Amino acid sequence: MEKIRLQKYLSLAGIASRRAAERMIASGRVTVNGATASLGDTVDPESDVVLLDGAVAEPVRGHTYILLNKPAGYVSTASDERGRPTVCDLTKGAGRRVWPVGRLDMYSDGLIIMTDDGVLTNALTHPSHGITKTYVACVTRPATEEEIASLGEPIGIDGRLTAPATVKRLDGDGTRIEFILRDGRNRQIRRLCERCGLKVKKLTRIMIGSLADPDLPPGKWRYLTDSEVKYLKNSATGGQ
């Protein structure tokens, strides 16, 4: 069998995303055939023995895909140095260790995908994948027509401009606003609102691409259907 990058092997094993796997390798936690691994190493999945912290890491057959309705107050990471509750605390009953695909800030709520599929995670979080995310922002005062137009314009975050957003009012006075984002950069909606002098009091992600589940209660999750998984994989490869 053709050799593959060690971090890809670890993601296929359902252990971590590739970025997290790279950190594990760099910290000396991974060995290949008894030797401490280095970044850039490749392995033959059929013949090489890979250990993480002394335990065998083997690729899994099949993956787990979950849709979680994250409540506010949970961080979208596998673990937290400050001891805050994480989305992984909510999915312990899934039977496998899963991690979040992308981020949803601690003070926001709504839908987030959880999986142990490192390949899909990397594809969906790559800037070029293009899958949209839809949010509803409740703001503390009515937004004017000019402000609604401004909210859709690009904003500089981490040294580069975001893609334009699609923005519209959901009520007559403009205190509930829908945002459709293609890139969803760090605190993008909150920063857009701050630029217009608007304060967000509640922010909810209601759709990931075409995936939605208004009946999923906060803090609960469900497995994705086969058709939903197929949709995400097609979206990640440009076949949306």
- Determine which one of 105, 109, 158, 226 is catalytic: 105
Range 187-190 contact pairs with CB under 8 angstroms and sequence separation of 24 or more: 187/105, 187/157, 188/155, 188/157, 188/162, 189/135, 189/137, 189/165, 190/105
Note if 105 is an active site residue: yes
CB contact burial 15-30 (16+ within 10 A = b; e otherwise)? bbbbebbbebbeeeeb
Burial class (CB in 10 A: 0-12, 13-18, 19+), 83: exposed
Q: Give me the DSSP letters along 15-60.
A: S--HHHHHHHHHTT-EEETTEE--TT-EE-TTT--EEETTEE----
As annotated, the active-site residues are 105
